[in-house]
A = this chain, B = another copy of it.
Amino acid sequence: MAPAAEDAETKRQRRRTSTAIKESLRELSVQLSLFNHQLSSHVDLRDSDLDCLDVIQRHGPLSPTALVRRTGLHAATMTGILDRLEKGGWIARDRDSVDRRAVVLRALRERNPEMFRLYSGMNTSMDKLLTGYTVDELETIADFVRRTTEAGKSATDDLTAG
């Protein structure tokens, strides 16, 4: 925890490091986006398709409308994304048993090994990188990443609305 009061030098350092983190985070974002782009082209999908696939895997099963709300993408665009994901065998579209207008998106597992292989370089690098930290540091990092994701979600929602 940060102490109740900090001396001037500490405050200066805090400000400098915070700025560095925010700048690096933007650079990380760019780099991950380029990584994602390479990933996409290797499996014959567009960049956002993988984003949607990830949401379906993580938070599914869910409906196209729910996915539209969560991602902020256009509904008609989503139909195209889901067409590609379905054609590629990444997801299934099931009819909702209750609401017959609705569709339920379910992630399939068939192509996971293929995906895992594309991730293996990044995965190995991360494992190596993480061994350099204490368990306490790892928990700090885990917490930071989770909370930054939350911040990203709010910021995205604000832009989607505004």
Contact = CB atoms under 8 A, between A and B. Distances in A.
A131 B145 CA distance: 15
B18 A47 contact: no
| Copies per complex of this chain | 2
Contact of A27 (B58, B132, B155): B58
B37 A72 contact: yes
Interface residues of A, number: 74
Interface string A61-91: 0000000000111000000000000000000
B20 A152 contact: no
Given A29-B36, A38-B160, A51-B33, A125 B142 contact: no
A71 B27 CA distance: 12
Find the residue from A1, A39, A148 having the highest chain B CB count within 10 A: A148
A10 interface: yes
Given A17-B139, A126-B151, A131-B2, A48 B37 contact: yes
A32 B50 CA distance: 13
B37 A36 contact: no
B138 A141 contact: no
Given A28-B149, A121-B154, A137-B140, 16 more contacts: A13-B135, A14-B135, A21-B138, A26-B54, A28-B152, A29-B29, A29-B36, A30-B54, A31-B149, A34-B51, A34-B71, A34-B72, A34-B73, A38-B159, A125-B154, A129-B147
